[in-house]
Every structure is written in C-alpha cells, then in structure tokens.
Amino acid sequence: MAFEDYTHEAARPQGIPYWRLLTDQGVVTPEIINFPYKGSGTDDEPYIVEWISNDPRNPMLLKTSLKWAYTITVAFATFGVSLSSSAYAGGIQEVIKHFDIGEEVATLGVSLFVLGFAVGPLVWAPLSELIGRQIVFFISYGVLAFFCAGAAGAQNSWTLIVLRFFAGSFGSSPLTNAGGVIADIFPPEERGLATSLFAGAPFLGPTLGPVIGGFLGENAGWRWVQGFLAIFTGLIWIVESLLVPETYAPLLLRKRAARLTALTGKVHRSKLDLERGKVTMTSAFGAALLRPWILLFAEPIVLLLSTYMAIVYGTLYMLFDAFPIVFQQLRGWSEGVGSLPFLGVMIGMMLAVALNMLDNKRYVAIHKAHHGFAPPEARLPPTMLGSVAIPIGLFWFAWTNAPPVHWIVSIIAAAPFGFGMVLVFLNIMSYLIDAYTIYAASVLAANSIIRSCFGAGFPLFTTYMYRNLGVHWASCIPAFLALACLPFPFVFYKYGAAIRRKCKYAAEADDFMRRLAEKTVPPEKGEEEKDKVIDEEFRAQAEGRGSADGGEGLVRLESGGRSSLSTVRDGTAGYEANPYDIDRVNTRNSAISRQSRSRSAKGRKRGFLGY
C-alpha cells in the first residue's frame, strides 16, 4: 500500500512543540480534530482515523535532520548492547584472579549475556506492538544500565554472572526494535544508506569490546569495565529517552483515535486497527513464542541457513577465548595488547558493509527488471563470496597462529573471517525475509534463537578444545564446520526456487506475494496461461494440505488480520501495518528507487518463482 493511501489533502496543521512530540503519543491539533474523517461516528460505522496531509505526528514526515539523529541514536543503542556482550571478555583474567574461579566459570559471563539475546526478543518484539517502541526502550535499556552497574559491584562470581544474563535479556530490545524505528521514519527508497550504516553497529560492538575491556581491565580492574558499560549505556538511555519519540504508526493512530473519541464523544477507530484487527496480548505473545519453533523445524531452508549463521556467530564468540590463548598465553602479550587482533576482524567487517552498499546497485537493477518482485535468490551472490572467505580466513589463522610465524600474519587472517561473516549475515537475513514475507518475523526470531544459543555455547568449550587439540587443530574445527556449510548459498542460489516450492510455508509466502502482484495489474498476454497453471498447482497443493494441518490458519495467524497490502515489498506502508512485517529493515541494502516503485505499479510479468 502506498504511503499516499494513508494521506488526504487538508490545510497544513499547526506545528507542535518538541516536548509534545516526545511525550504525547495521542497529540491532536484543531486541524486533526476538524478533519472530515470517513464514517458517521457510531459503533457500527466509526470515524476512520488516518494520517492527514502534512500531519505533524506522522513519523514519515519528520525533518531529515531529526530522522538522522534518531538513526544515529538507535545505532548507538545497538552498539552499546553488542559492546557490553564482549567488553567483559577483555577483562576476564582480572575476574578469574579476583574471584579465584576457573576460566570456564568466568566465561559464563559472556555466554549468559549472549543467551539473553535469545530470550529477550521473544518478549520485547510483541510488547512493542502492544505499548510501542518508546516505552519498551525506556524500561529495558534503563534496566540494562542498572544491571551493568550492579555487576560492577558484585561481591561474588555468581552474582556477576546472573546479573550479566539479565543485562543481556533486557538489553536485547534494540536488536528487535531499533531497525523498526528506521523503518518507521524512512520510506524504502531512502532507507538504504540508513540501514547500511546501522548495520555496522551490531558488528562493531563485539570487535571493539575486547579491546576496550582489555586495556581498561588491565589498568583499572574488571569492575571499571562493568562501570564503563553502565555509564555508557546509561548515557545512551538518557539521550534516547530525551530525543527519540514514539514512531510506531499503529500505536500513534490508536492513541489519536482514543483522544478524538474522548474529545468529541463520537466513536473514532484507527484505520490500521480496523484493517488488521486489534492486537491482544495473547495473540501477540502466542505468535512470538510458538511460530518460530514451528518454522525452524518444519522448513529445511530456515533450519540449514540458520544453523550456518549460528556456526559463524558462535565462531566469533569463540574467538573471545581463542585470541587470549593465542596472543596472550603463546606470545606473552598483555591483556590490552592481546585484544588488538580483534581490529583485524573489525576491518574485514567494515569492508563487507561497504561492499554490501555497492552491491545494492546490482540488486536494484534486478528489482527493476522484475517489476518490484525480485526473486529471493537475487540476495545470495554476496553470500557466496562470504562463504568462501570464512573458511579461508579460519584455516589461514589456524596454521599461522603460533611462533615462529610472525603475529601479523594471523591478525591479517582475521579480516577474511570478518568480511565473510558480515556478507553471510546480512544477505542470508535478506534472503529469509524475501523468501518468507508473511512469516518473516517468526523466521528471524527462530534464526535469533539458534544463533544466540550457539554464541553462548561456543565459548564454553573453547578452552578445553584448545587444551586438548592444540592451537592449530582446535582452530581448524570451526573452519571445517564453515567449509561444510559453504555449499548452502550456492545450492539455494541455483535450486532455491524449486526448493521453496516444496517447502510448505515458503510456498505459501511465494503464492501470497505472486497473487498480490496479480491483483495489482492483470498479467500480460502470454503469461496468463502460465499463471493459470501455477494457480491450479497451488490450489491443488492447498486442497491437499487441507484444513487438518492448519496451514491456512497459520497464514491468517501470521498476518494477524492485517491488510494484505501491508506486505507489499516496494510500498511504504508495509511496516506501519505490523511490526512483524520487516519490510527489509534488516537487509541493510533496501534502497529501492522511486522509478522501481512506479514501474512495479504498471505491471509485473512474473512472481517470486524465479528470475
């Protein structure tokens, strides 16, 4: 649904003070009150509340300077969480000495923090749909800073470890909602740069964290590492609380409708609520807690690609234990200097982000060629490059990480790993979103759960592995795992369309998007027969599945009663209709030109079934 569909011409409303923008989610002006809404104001036919022309509260119409201020702020919030996950590792030797505990126990401070990334989003994502992003951030990020401060004063190791787990669980809210803020304020054709820059935040944190923690722990002690994290996240909490207003459109329109009802005595309802149905706590949390597991184990695409990402993610967190063994124990470096090799990983990551931005031109060309419905497999070429770079970097590191080989050789080897990791992450995320559309949120939740579990588990056995296998063969283990996963992007690139047709939920998502394209404009002559055959195929499949397996019910459950147009890929209202419609928020390269959008409105020659 185009953004203009939610906008009607009217006199320009009066501006509102910034403090009202920040504090009043249901703000109204005389122009908003007197606007001729559709309806009669009764229970049976309520006034339909939507954005008016030049609406001062419409997030899409905010000043460009404010949009970029919000983008930078939420990026820093995400950076703060990822930094907190890894900075602890830089001062872990100080924790071991202070509490006289084993390295395995001390490592739980990293593992349980990352495990919180699997738990927290299951709560924060549906909660943001119910009460908005602003309140969720205010509560969760404030608690993150509080737990970091509590960890700084921990008097025993288990208090420290438990507080770290709760810090990770509460701090994970930006991982869920920060991308949503960007989607709320930028239309897709303007979102590419914002999301690409935002993409660096989750990757910069884990690589800079050990460096900061290493030098700070070495010179000031481990408590100051936690104290620094408390101060840093606390400052981010204050800045975002005072700067970023609520941006989630369904909540804003719902609050406005309630305010107008109270002021006028006439019944007003949000257009988005009428289209999608009112979200209840039971439906929101039920979907968030159940559907990811169904898709993870029912869809081979989700299971294989999520496992691949989990292995790569676990390898990154394994390096938090592996680098100290290689550079501190073998080469005798200090904690601070021994953490500098993580900069090699960071350089590779930044190169990958830059390449991904450049590759967006290729994707936009394919997007235009397919009239706004590019096949998901168009996302995979950078992943293929990344899948080759990862094992190269890991094997390179494995056999150059000990004397007499010069230390710079193994540090350079970290760059291909970081480079490949980012390419694999960003583009597999995009592929899963494009392949599952109506199930995108549940697929990404499943991906996050398994990824966080691997990230939490890998550091726990790293010390044993290096002790028993030696630095060379121990470093080869993740390299062999990455090598085993290397064919995945190549296989899905070539056979992905056929595989998706055989996967129940991927086929339903593909069918949904193709039918949506057909409803927009009738197919061109010559395509009609082909589409008719495909229609009959899908109808037969749907009838074969029947209602016993709940397939159609799940489609309705996933879409939550929202307007079918809320998932149009090149529209701007898709994310407004439901926070679970990712609308390429996490793809980091979603810049689609206006020309592409206009062309997609003229006609689509084919659906999602192939190039």
Task: Indicate the pLDDT class of residue 437, thresholds 50, 70 and 90.
Answer: confident
User: Dihedral through CA 154, CA 159, CA 163, CA 165, nearest 10?
Assistant: 140
Q: Residue 85 and residue 89: Cα distance in Å, rounded?
A: 8
Task: Indicate the pLDDT class of residue 414, thresholds 50, 70 and 90.
Answer: very high
Highest mean pLDDT among 104-108, 127-131, 361-365 belongs to 104-108
Task: Indicate the pLDDT class of residue 237, thresholds 50, 70 and 90.
Answer: very high
Q: Residue 264 and residue 326: Cα distance in Å, rounded?
A: 71
Highest mean pLDDT among 131-140, 571-580, 600-609 belongs to 131-140
DSSP letter, residue 567: G
Residues present in the chain in total: 611
Task: Indicate the pLDDT class of residue 548, thresholds 50, 70 and 90.
Answer: very low
Task: Indicate the pLDDT class of residue 99, thresholds 50, 70 and 90.
Answer: very high
Question: Do residues 524 and 603 make contact, with C-beta atoms less than 8 angstroms apart?
Answer: yes
The 3 state secondary structure assigned to 446-506 is: HHHHHHHHHHHHHHHHHHHHHHHHHHHHHHHHHHHHHHHHCHHHHHHHHHHHHHHHHCHHH
pLDDT attached to residue 553: 38
Neighbours of 61 (CB within 10 A): 15
pLDDT attached to residue 603: 38
Q: What topology does CATH give the domain 290-611?
A: Growth Hormone; Chain: A; (1.20.1250)
DSSP letter, residue 8: B
Q: What SS3 state is found at 48?
A: strand
Amino acid at 111: S
What pLDDT digit, counting tens, does each position of 574-600 carry? 333 333 333 333 333 333 333 334 443
pLDDT attached to residue 244: 93
Q: What is the CA radius of gyration of the chain?
A: 25
pLDDT attached to residue 203: 84
440 pLDDT above the threshold of 60: yes
Task: Name the region of 38 (left: φ>0; alpha: ψ -120 to 50; beta: rest).
Answer: beta
| Beta strands, E only, 216-274 | 268-270
Question: Do residues 253 and 49 make contact, with C-beta atoms less than 8 angstroms apart?
Answer: yes
11 pLDDT above the threshold of 60: no
Q: Residue 515 and residue 537: Cα distance in Å, rounded?
A: 13
What pLDDT digit, counting tens, does each position of 448-483 carry? 889 999 999 999 999 999 999 999 999 999 999 999
509 pLDDT above the threshold of 90: no
Alpha helices in 279-341 (DSSP H): 281-298, 300-323, 335-338
Summarize the confidence of residues 292-304 as an average pLDDT: 91
Give the start-to-end residue ranges of the domains of the chain. Answer: 3-57+248-281, 290-611
The average confidence (pLDDT) of the chain is 81
Q: Residue 409 and residue 2: Cα distance in Å, rounded?
A: 52
570 pLDDT above the threshold of 80: no
Summarize the confidence of residues 530-548 as an average pLDDT: 45
* Residue 593 CB-half CA count within 13 A: 14
* Higher local confidence (pLDDT), 509 or 422: 422
Q: Residue 24 and residue 248: Cα distance in Å, rounded?
A: 13
DSSP letter, residue 52: B
pTM: 0.78
223 pLDDT above the threshold of 70: yes
Q: Residue 155 and residue 161: Cα distance in Å, rounded?
A: 11
Q: How many helices (H) and strands (E) does the chain have?
A: 26, 2
- The structure tokens 């007003």 sit at 268
Question: Do residues 204 and 129 make contact, with C-beta atoms less than 8 angstroms apart?
Answer: no
DSSP letter, residue 462: H
Task: Indicate the pLDDT class of residue 314, thresholds 50, 70 and 90.
Answer: very high
Task: Indicate the pLDDT class of residue 315, thresholds 50, 70 and 90.
Answer: very high
Listed range (165-169, 499-503, 591-595) with the worst mean pLDDT: 591-595
Q: Residue 235 and residue 469: Cα distance in Å, rounded?
A: 44
Task: Indicate the pLDDT class of residue 43, thresholds 50, 70 and 90.
Answer: confident
What pLDDT digit, counting tens, does each position of 550-564 carry? 333 333 333 333 333
